[in-house]
Amino acid sequence: MGLRVTLEFHQIEDVVFDDINDLNDDLLNNTEFRGLYEEQNKGDKAYQNNDLYDGPFRQLSPDKVQIACVSEGSYFEQYDTVTDVWGCWSIDEARVIANHMIEGKIVFLQEIEGNDNVYWIITPHNVVEKSAAKLKF
């Protein structure tokens, strides 16, 4: 166990992916997400409810994308808007998501225990990383 790092959907606007299954496969095969979800198998039943694991993300509508939640026990809990990611989130994962987006916008809030939080703004083929501490309101 290290620093607690969570990734949470902060904003979702009219998101269209080319193919959610291709996005999930690309994340699992080409990024550190494979370490986050390596103990999960498609069809695994969630620990907390009746969700079945089908990859890191699932999309219910253009404004409702969810992430597979895992915890320190490395088991799949459910699909929701936030998960622990430890060291398995970086610009690489964000770029994969951006490259599979056809339209829309996703803003993630990455909370990093003891450090500045970060907003990740993802649009088709584009990623912007902003320190929450440097944002002016």
pLDDT tens-place string over residues 38-73: 989 999 999 888 899 999 999 999 999 999 998 766
**Overall number of domains in the chain:** 1
- Rounded to the nearest integer, the mean pLDDT of the chain is 92
Percent of the chain at pLDDT > 70 equals 95
* Domain hosting residue 86, numbered range: 5-134
Q: Which two tokens stand for residue 58?
A: 């699932």
Task: Decide if pLDDT at 137 tops 60.
Answer: no
Task: Decide if pLDDT at 96 tops 80.
Answer: yes
pLDDT in tens, 6-41: 999 999 999 999 999 999 999 999 999 999 999 899
